[in-house]
Structure 1
Amino acid sequence: MKTHITFLLLSGLGGIAFAQNPTSDPNTLMNLGRFDEAKHMLTQKAEQNPGMQTYFDAGYGYLKAGQPDSARIWFEKGISMDEKRVPLNETGAAITYLVKNDMANADAKLTTVVDKSKGKNADILYRIGEAYTGYLTPGNGSIKPVYPKAVNATKALDFLNRASERDKKNASIQLALGDANYLNKDAGTAVSRYESALEMGMDPSRVYQRIGDIYWQGRNLNLAVENYKKAIEANPSYGPAYNQLAELYFLVNRYKDAANYMDQYVSATHDNRQATLLRQAQFHFLAKDFKRAVNLIDSNSTALGQNPIVYRIKGWAYSSLKEPQKAIENINTFLEKAPEKAMPDDYKYLGRAYMETDSASDDSLGAVFLAKAAPFDTTENLYSDIAKYYYRTKKHPEAVAMLDSAAKHGFKSDVQDLFRYGMSNYTLGFQRDTAGKLVRDTVRFALADSALALAQKGAPDYAPTVLYRAKANYYAYTPEEAVLNGKAKPYFEQFISMVGDKEEERKRYKKDLVLAFKYLIAYNDLVAHDEAAQKEWLQKGLSYFPDNKDLAKIASSDEENTAETDSTKQ
């Protein structure tokens, strides 16, 4: 389910201040993931001051941004300006073939630039070695190469070690060596190289973020968090660390922290890409800040355009906010615009929204949608929700079927589920044959008693549970059989003790109490042969219901029997 924006401008959260240190350094902008700004600055500089380095830098900006064809245009412009022993732009052009996996061109061209530089220029060796790392880039909870097909850890280490031998104090080379060792599955050496880069003056925020990434990939999340926070302390505008923290907290289900750091990421980087805006809204939804999720989407409607996912997030949020009509409207719009992307949770939130309306027909439709989602939801027992609807509408076979499905899917029944299961089976115990004659379904009554027994353990003071245990054991048999087997006796006794002394409850359960008294009187007469107990239950029943004809008739019959007995004795 919960698959992101300039935070301060949208939320007005008090008490949070972000450093907004402006920077005119394109390398820093690239490290922050702000490639469009970096490219603009680099190309502008190349146009104003054409030269070997400026053309290379412009091409490099496009290369790091994942646009090798555009990068090659700038590199080729600069080739004529390369120095004889420093074919920098020619190296850049060769690398564009490497990252596109055009090895026929890449191998020959790379060999040429190494030969031209006599294999002795540290910058040329470094650029080639870095290219073989694929340009590792952090984001969305991982550190991945921009160009996976270019990755060759062995070649990267070879070129970068050669470069390091010729320029031992170059922090950029050390950072790239850290990346190469990471790709070579040598995390310990990778961290050592990153630390060397830090000692040589590399931007600490970038280094700490890289170290955090290594620890994350090794699942040492505490050390990952520690290093990301060090990166932020070093530079509060360093966006990648905020992003990684957001994704890390998302991974461990700390959604409020994830949302908070995603907000800070957006504030630091001004990243208004659709994916980022949707991710931010998603995190706030998962953090149960549903209004914030909706407000983020509405406030960024232009940037988000017609992306159908916005309707999904808003629909789910409105469903959780108990605004069913808005939820129904948005989720249905999503399903109309992107039916191929429909997932079970869409139907879950849609079903719940329909059930929140005041319309009986919508309730029925809600049950249909929940039924589509229920088999796929492993965290929420949607079968219970559906069963509740069917129970309320007296569709007892359907209610039982839903609760049976819940059990088959591994959901543990709560007290209410057990009570409904018991009561639905109890109701279904009264069947009619083809002639319309009442037929007792003993299996249904047994199922009812079993479920109600479990419900009673969970809520021992709930009188209806005890009552219907008594009635299930009573109506499963003919009246005479029910009295003789005595199965209903303890529950009738318990029920009377629970409600008999409460006037309002006596009024509510008058018929049931009378049945209980009649049962216990008969039991003590026919089974226990306990005349004293029989009279005690009769007197108690009459004290509660002096006008009840059945109890009065029993009392009258007892008096006649007593008189006959006395007459016989005379």
Structure 2
Amino acid sequence: MKNKLITINMNKVTILSVAILASAFTVQAQDIDQAKKAVDAEQFESAKTILKSIIRDKPSNGEAFYTLGNVYLTQNVKDSAKIYFQKGITASDEGQLNYIGLGQIDLNDSNVSAAQANFALATKDMRRKDFQEFIFIARAYMNAEKPDYKSALTVLNKAAVNNSQDAQVQLALGDAYYGEGKQNEAYIAYRSAFQLDSSLLKAKMQLGVLLKGAKSYDEASKAYNEVIAINPNYGPVYRELAETYYKIARNKPSQADANYKIALGHYDKYMSLTDYSIHSRMRRADFLILIEDYVALEAEAKKMTELDKVNPRIYRYLGYSAYKNGNIGVAIKSLENFINSPGNKPIALDYLYLGLTKIKKGTNLEGTAIDSTAFAKGLIDIKKSIEMEPLAVQDLSSVGKDFFTKKLYKESAEIFEFGANTPESKSYLDDNVYYGLANYYANSGKDVNIDKIALQKADAAFEKVLVASPTYLEAYLYRARTNRSLEKDDVMVKNYEDYIAKTTELGAEEIAKPATMAKFTEAYNNIAASYANTDKVKAIEYFKKTLEIDPANSYAMESIKILK
């Protein structure tokens, strides 16, 4: 009897142990799922805490290492990501997934062959019905610094062969098609993903993202609000709302301030539902740059400095905001610290703002004079910016116009020259107009040493304008004036004649305008003067045309007397 009781008790212990183990496994599974949900909700600090706890309690969980490494990659912390991937390879459970993480690092380093070798190691022991590795490899291609959506689709098609009804496969397909610009296919995949798993809010949210991309902003907002109705605490949807209102603001300038305010409110809601780590604050700082709220950016940058005094990226935010807010010394120091910090990857805007800040430092308080040395130093950084991103010229137009307004024509011309030589810029035509005018005015007036090369550039700029916009008649007029300064009388005459002919085509009402008559008078007098020494009859003919418009024109009357 005693032995039987002992046996029974031992059975109870065995059953209890199994129950405890099963419970622990369930909690473990819930924890990894919880971590994945935190990642999806962009609560990265929470996800890291959960994953580190899993790794501490169960170091054999390779998927936890892989997921944690991916979080660090998302936050651009490559070294930490690599450490966890390398440790995760030795894990007995799903350790092979970490080769995929290392493969993405290879892709970021532009080492495609090494990446493919790591992907092969991750998939070598896959069973026929396995597909998770394919999803993760596809995401590595998509999340790389230079995304390769075509390769991602190739891998995902393997996953879809036997698992087309898996929600994660469909979600990944949606992301790959979206990256490829295949909107219809992306829509079908996202819709399928949500139908297969109604808890997959990202899939439903992405339907709104597609609408935003199609500029259907009202429909996009409606789609986002449907996500909020399901789960008002799903943070990423508020970020998408913020970016949608930013787009609305850009498309409706008259309502921009109100929509920027709404956008920032949604972004703050997004922040409150994710985390206030240094990385999330940086995302908010990026958005503040987007909506050009530099006062708020400076405040945010100061908060980030308190959290992390060594993160070099904070210098960028301090530099941008200090430049925009007029704190020139801080701007130059911060931007130079950022650009020169080892491991940083400066972008075109960093050099652009540094160059403009150096120019601003050499400009007097009234903005009417610039130190030539400071201007030259600033131009060096601006050139670096444009070499990195030619369309950075679009940010220079307002600077060039400001110089032009303050009659700093030489400096204005040097700024506009960048845009005037960038045909793909949306400000190309406008920049050429100002480039021509600035060069012309810089070489007009009394006591000016005429720079013939600058005037030739002005003439070339006006010619570009007329090719792009033949109806811009002022360009004919300024070409004539420019060639007059260059003493090219034959070209000048043709330019004036073109101006007269094109204007006459507009009808009597246009010709009768006082401003037009004054320009016709200028044209006739200059054409007449060009003939004075070679063809007196023709010269008198044109002076008489002047007198038909302006009978009291003393220059024409006196010239006719002399010629007779």
**TM-score, L = length of structure 2:** 0.54
Note the C-alpha offset of 1:295. Answer: 1.9
Note the C-alpha offset of 1:279. Answer: 4.3
The change in CA–CA distance for 1:248 and 1:463 in structure 2 (over 3 A counts) is: same
Indicate yes or no: 2:180 matched with 1:174. Answer: no
5 Å matches for 1:174-323?
174-180=167-173, 183=176, 186-187=185-186, 189-198=188-197, 202-203=198-199, 205-212=201-208, 226-246=222-242, 256=260, 259=264, 261-274=266-279, 276-303=280-307, 305-321=309-325, 323=326
Pick one of 90, 95, 98 that aligns with 1:96.
98
Note the C-alpha offset of 1:443. Answer: 3.8
Note the C-alpha offset of 1:492. Answer: 9.6
Output the CA distance in 2 between the equivalents of 1:61 and 1:441: 71
Indicate yes or no: 2:376 matched with 1:368. Answer: yes
Output the CA distance in 1 between the equivalents of 2:447 and 2:529: 12
The change in CA–CA distance for 1:231 and 1:330 in structure 2 (over 3 A counts) is: same
8 Å CA contact 1:240–1:265 kept in 2: the answer is yes
8 Å CA contact 1:316–1:331 kept in 2: the answer is no
Output the CA distance in 2 between the equivalents of 1:524 and 1:311: 70
Residue identity opposite 2:239 in structure 1 = N
The change in CA–CA distance for 1:427 and 1:260 in structure 2 (over 3 A counts) is: farther
The change in CA–CA distance for 1:273 and 1:99 in structure 2 (over 3 A counts) is: same
Note the C-alpha offset of 1:416. Answer: 11
8 Å CA contact 1:250–1:258 kept in 2: the answer is yes
Note the C-alpha offset of 1:32. Answer: 0.9
The change in CA–CA distance for 1:317 and 1:482 in structure 2 (over 3 A counts) is: farther
Find the counterpart in structure 1 of residue 126 from structure 2. Answer: 110
Output the CA distance in 2 between the equivalents of 1:425 and 1:68: 63
Output the CA distance in 2 between the equivalents of 1:485 and 1:361: 45
Find the counterpart in structure 1 of residue 440 from structure 2. Answer: 421
Note the C-alpha offset of 1:246. Answer: 4.7
- Higher RCO, Cα 8 Å, sep 6+: 1
Output the CA distance in 2 between the equivalents of 1:244 and 1:138: 19
Residue identity opposite 2:440 in structure 1 = Y
For each residue in 1:413-432, what CA deviation from the matched residue of structure 2 results, as whole angstroms up to 9, or x when unmatched?
6699749826834548998x
Find the counterpart in structure 2 of residue 345 from structure 1. Answer: 352
For 1:263, what is the secondary structure of its paired residue?
Answer: helix
For 1:270, what is the secondary structure of its paired residue?
Answer: coil
Note the C-alpha offset of 1:313. Answer: 4.4
Note the C-alpha offset of 1:224. Answer: 5.2
Q: Number of residues paired by the alignment?
A: 429
Residue identity opposite 2:305 in structure 1 = S
Output the CA distance in 2 between the equivalents of 1:138 and 1:98: 12
Note the C-alpha offset of 1:56. Answer: 7.7
Output the CA distance in 2 between the equivalents of 1:406 and 1:177: 44
Judging by fraction of residues, say which structure has more helix: 2
Note the C-alpha offset of 1:269. Answer: 0.9
Output the CA distance in 2 between the equivalents of 1:143 and 1:233: 33
The change in CA–CA distance for 1:426 and 1:279 in structure 2 (over 3 A counts) is: same
For 2:95, what is the secondary structure of its paired residue?
Answer: helix
Find the counterpart in structure 1 of residue 336 from structure 2. Answer: 335
The change in CA–CA distance for 1:418 and 1:496 in structure 2 (over 3 A counts) is: farther
The change in CA–CA distance for 1:248 and 1:483 in structure 2 (over 3 A counts) is: same
Output the CA distance in 1 between the equivalents of 2:140 and 2:486: 69
For 1:338, what is the secondary structure of its paired residue?
Answer: helix
